[in-house]
Chain A
Amino acid sequence: MNTLLLVTLLLPLVGAAGVAVLPDHRQLLAKQLTLGISLVVLVMTLWMAVGFDTGGERFQFNSSYTWIADFGVRFSLGVDGIAVVLIALIGVLVPVVVAASWNDEPTGERSMKAFFAWLLVLETMMIGVFAATDVFLFYVFFEVMLIPMYFLIGSFGGPRRQYAAVKFFLYSLLGGLIMLASVIGLFVVSNNQLGEGTFAFDALRQLEITPGTQKLLFLGFFIAFAIKAPLVPFHTWLPDAGAEAPIGGAVLLVGVLDKVGTFGFLRYCLPLFPDASRFYAPLVLVMSVVGIFYGALLAMGQSDMKRLVAYTSIAHFGFIGLGIFAFTSQAGTGAVLYMVNHGISTGALFLIVGILINRGGSRMIGAYGGLARIAPLLGGAFLIVGLSSLALPGTNSFVSEFLVLVGSFTTQPAFSIIAAVGIILAALYILLMYQRTMHGPENPRLRGVRDLDKRELATLGPLIALIIVLGVYPKPVLDIITPAVDATMVDLGTNDPAPTVAEEGNR
């Protein structure tokens, strides 16, 4: 039993209660309290990441308590290498979001106090969804996570926030309910095979499920995760939700919440249903590669910056899907690293877009121009973050994209080659947006706008530092991820094929 994870999970929830009961006029105190708690959580998540024994047990920081005996449900927490880096990502992003939303004015009469309280609730749910080692508990976090995000979008979002919030909620709920059928199905199977139903991940991995049943159960989980990730054609909620969410909400929505889908593929679909995963892999690969192009092409066509960033994410999730369903540990490791890097880069990109909107008062690209001369710091930050998003060598995303492509080439050369072409499109949509907003004739409306202030530098600084550090020296993170991905591949029953180059050398 190690309660560090449990404490990390519960601390934001307790903090949220504390923020919620503050009187309405203590807005500043609410912000300070939220920031303080999120920083403590950051320290604890980093502590866990550093303390994670890369050569040790697959799941660490375990704790487990009886919850609902009749269902065989336990409140079990534990992290493997994949979960621990994603939890660390949450730890980093939440304080950044708090700082970025510091001066936000609420729409209507609502107080920002509620915003920060919901943010902390969301942090607990996000940590929980990655930390659960009981499938039922995972499902509970998966569903309940929707509620804080729903209120963040619906209460604090843009003009079409009602529509976007409901669409987001219903899409995710539909996926969740389909997954519930499979969750119950797993219970029934375990009840038949083990004599008592259980939801413990370690016990479920041992089941021998017939391929026919596997396919049905796989589909339930897969649809839920494909909506969450999202893969084309389940993606239509994301541009709306991403565009209407408040910037802080959008960072967490795209940076973390969507990762639950790809995380779910790796944690649940592959190990629990290996036969079905192999059976459906071609379908998923097609969806992923279509997503890379579809997302990129639609991103190019957007005039709304927030929608543009949302569409870029759909393209990026195509790469992650490719990495996961290529079934090699190299590609899998790349996909996990991609999840982390995407959270950092796209999170930073949303923050920059938010700053632009704050200065120019419009989400439209056409309302900007020549801003780099007026606000050089902002222009510079935009350039670095943008280059990271298009995976320029030297930035974090390059490492992960390269790993995904190299890793998938050994098993899926065709998909890998097609996906590589998508990189060019990524360069187009990012650079076009940068060019239209930062260069060209100055838009007279923007004359005299402020450059980045200290608070904004403090929010973007850590992310830009991570972009460069992880681009140059990703080894510590890779060391944590690799054993967990290897274990997943063992569950899946695949042996890594020899790298393509070596094969040719033998001939």
Chain B
Amino acid sequence: MFTGCGVVAGQTQYLPKDAVRPLTGLMVTRSNPAENGVTAGTCPGYHAQTYSPSVQPAVVNDSIPLKPPPAPAPPRALKLGQEGFKKVCRTEEDSPCPFPGLASGVLEMRVKEGSKIRNLMGFAMARMQGGEGVNAAGMSGGGLRQVVFTGSGRAVTKTITCAEIMKRKVGSLHQLTKLRYKVVKEVWESTEGGASEMTVHRTVPSISILLSKDPLDPQEPGYQPPETLSALWEEKEGVDSASQTACKRPLGPLPYSGVAHCKKVCLGEGLSVVPPQ
């Protein structure tokens, strides 16, 4: 869980310029432009060689452009709070639709951390199957043709689960998955009076899943044809079994490993008939 020495070295380099402020690692926009300039100047170079921030198992990734201090410290939010700052607002910056050329009226399900799957699915399934919302774009007969699930941070898992449930229930849906970082702007205000205010930009990983009853472009990265429920694993195993046979890792003395091993062997033989590319 601790940071490597490389990062620490980088940090010491970085710290002196910033030593006054306790909030290393955050790119802070204060009213003082000079100070801000220093931070902005040092950050990018510094971060270029260090890696990600997810020191804690916290799911929210704290930013690319900002380097968190390599401390086994409590999460950043808590720390800011301890320093006498209070989060006053949090806005998600508008990002363009990840699916260019999508009709504007497509149902977008924004999955949040606290969203209930039954609520989301109840709504989305009704729209996809039923005849409600007849005027919505992308309609033709039995329900909507397309739906987009988006979620970020801790809601990513839930978003995928929703999409998976819908694929299973509706069947023969084409899927397009896009990943990207989403920028979240947070404004923190000092609690000890004074007009000190900070704006923190942090980036959070987010996912967008487009499910469509109509075919989508199979060349697009992240496309998944319908009914690849379990085929995904098998197919991948098959594709380059050559490299797989080359890679022999000792299987643990696991009760199930026997089965897995058998399977691999069978696959390897089967593939001699169908030559891998």
> Do A and B assemble together?
no
Binding site for B on A (CB under 8 A): none
Residues of B within 8 A of A (CB): none
